[in-house]
Structure 1
């Protein structure tokens, strides 16, 4: 096999895969979100166990209400609705909406045309929340700020029931973290035992992902159980069937490119994971915890962790051993995880994600160099065997059986493996696809600069310099190795235009991916020169 054909085959497979992904996305059923649908969602919310008041709140209730509780930390800027105690807005302070701008990235929000909130309720026989009514909490103040030198910040909301029982809902924020602990402290001052149960969900207006062919991304729900470590449950799945899974521990989440929100209930308790669709507009996924009995005179706490932030694998793993799987590397996760860890290792030394990508490229190509050398050697031997192979063809004509036997004897005598040129491509393909998903899924590359004009490795090169250089290096690689004289003229013509075709495709690839490919091409050109020089000394052309 020709070297450049191997590389171009990988590119062809990648583009084919991306085209197929985009076709799937374009032809999947697309829910329509309209004002009528939003109105329908309000009427049907009670039937779907999603709070009507919270989900259908107007923009005035969320953005301008003086009753909302405002919490700020070094990582989060949060608004909590005292009715129900739901998180109706969460801005990520350290992640900006746009590069070199001060406006933070808002993950949770509630606007007239879009809802994405985190709800939590205390239900059960003696719960204070129901499908039609939520507890109205009182707070000591409306503004809470994590002060300098303070590691934790507690935001207590209090509700006193008609029977005198005090329910305190406490939000605990931690310095440097995106997870929030949500606890219900039930002080049973009555004479009867109380049975309560925590329920929590994430509700979101059904919205298409911002995915495109060169950057296929997922937007929708996901969950984890003891049986299924990670499972996507997209909006279409929620529309067709409500999720109902009983598991010890587990978690539920809403995903989008680079960011995630997730509820993580207690790992040592049995929880029920559920989903629902509210009208035609809103989908939710959540859990119902174990029933707790609070004896008279006793105070008991039930709670769960809520994460709202970037897909930081280390932070996610602290909450649940499987929550880091929301960084979805697909079937090649077993290969992608060590590649990601190696990239993190390189970055810890060089402090630049572009340089880390270059070092990853050198490492991968270095590991594959012995196989690449074997590939070129096998190709050279096969090329030198062409005259003898032609003699065999002339001798045996159409007798394929004898021709095959004679060819095998010739390979054995000359110590040539006809499949030797295929092994590197077989190994390169999974490595390339694994690295592709690592670069696609790594939030660390978002707004990460490289050098000069590359200010964000997660988006395309603004001046298309890297794609053009990539096309040039592909052309050089093609010219370094002459076409086989037996190649079909049409195939030869296609090969000549491949650098142009794929250079065009790379115009829309994220700069980090193009950088990897470009450096790989340069390394491959140098490798070819070195290997060819060695083969020439051995008399192989």
Structure 2
């Protein structure tokens, strides 16, 4: 059923066994252990891009964590509406919630595929996917401190003896691997929890954190007794890779975000006014005269004119005055003409300029 996973996994293991078998010998337990470890590293290297996307997706979700908190408070009694609003918010920010789970989801079939391949090494097998009969016998006889890679603590004593192992040797090899793998699982989960934003913490998040911090490591410690030694080696190598990868990727992304913040501050300081400098006032544009529009009467087709104002004040025209030259006599005022009225006298009683007598 999982042949589409089993064949690629067995091919990668076959390639690495050829490499290390040429150095340590085909039946050496070290060659097979290194082959399993580097199989793990190869798979995780293929998944490094989805892991980086997962980290960036988590960072984006932390940016709009307050909005998520508001939605959780607003729709705490309506889970369907909350799911719809959360999906809408994630699409607005370009965040795919499945992106954070993709690396873990892809590792699950690899784990089951390797388990199937390692359990395929048994007595009487004529082949195991990419491995031939001689390579199956090479794996079965690989010795690791008196234990075989196919042995596990809960294995039946008769089957363990047929493979050439004994319970004491199997416990001596399996128990340290189980403890180290359990501790590595705990520290991997602890590193992930430490990167979470407390603003987005909910009751469900707290439960999941406790499960990943304590239940998963305890599960490795308990159920490791049912895992072949080869599978424990894979689990330990996977956790070691995860710890190193998280440290390097998180450090790289933190440095990139710090550089972006510094660049944004420098840009803001460059565009802003210097210390002590008055902010420049925007220049006022002169008022543009409104264009004259000819309005026409729709019925007659004649142009409408604005009514003339009743009174217009005209600015007085200044009179030209010439100052007298030095030494010149001032000019006499012009005499009144005959038609000019003299105040206090009627026209018939005005005096004659020559005689000075009053006219009758």
TM-score by length of 1: 0.35
Alignment of 1:140-155 (within 5 A): none
* Structure with larger Rg: 2
Q: Which structure carries more helix by proportion?
A: 2
Match of 1:338 among 8, 13, 24: 8
Contact 2:193/2:209 (CA < 8 Å) preserved in 1? no
Distance 1:492 1:359, change over 3 A: closer
Contact 1:382/1:418 (CA < 8 Å) preserved in 2? no
- After superposition, the C-alpha distances for 1:74-99 in whole angstroms (9 at most, x for unaligned) are xxxxxxxxxxxxxxxxxxxxxxxxxx
Q: Which range moves more in the overlay, 387-396 or 466-475?
A: 387-396
Could you tell me how far 1:416 is from its partner in structure 2? Answer: 1.0
Quote the residue 2:95 is aligned against.
416
Quote the residue 1:479 is aligned against.
190
Give the SS at the match of 1:420.
helix
Contact 2:186/2:212 (CA < 8 Å) preserved in 1? no
Distance 1:493 1:402, change over 3 A: closer
Count matched residues. 208
Alignment of 1:160-309 (within 5 A): none
Quote the residue 2:270 is aligned against.
none
2: distance between equivalents of 1:397 and 1:494? 23
- After superposition, the C-alpha distances for 1:414-457 in whole angstroms (9 at most, x for unaligned) are 2211221122223222122111111111243323134xx36421
Match of 2:69 among 390, 395, 411: 390
Q: Which structure carries more strand by proportion?
A: 1
Quote the residue 2:239 is aligned against.
521
Could you tell me how far 1:487 is from its partner in structure 2? Answer: 4.1
2: distance between equivalents of 1:364 and 1:409? 34
Contact 1:354/1:449 (CA < 8 Å) preserved in 2? no
Q: Residue 438 in 1 paired to residue 147 in 2? A: no
2: distance between equivalents of 1:500 and 1:405? 36
Q: Residue 509 in 1 paired to residue 227 in 2? A: yes
1: distance between equivalents of 2:96 and 2:221? 33
Contact 1:353/1:448 (CA < 8 Å) preserved in 2? yes
1: distance between equivalents of 2:94 and 2:69? 18
Could you tell me how far 1:512 is from its partner in structure 2? Answer: 0.6
Superposed CA RMSD in Å reads 2.6
Give the SS at the match of 1:458.
coil
2: distance between equivalents of 1:373 and 1:433? 24
Contact 2:188/2:243 (CA < 8 Å) preserved in 1? yes
2: distance between equivalents of 1:454 and 1:414? 56
Quote the residue 2:249 is aligned against.
531
Contact 2:190/2:213 (CA < 8 Å) preserved in 1? no
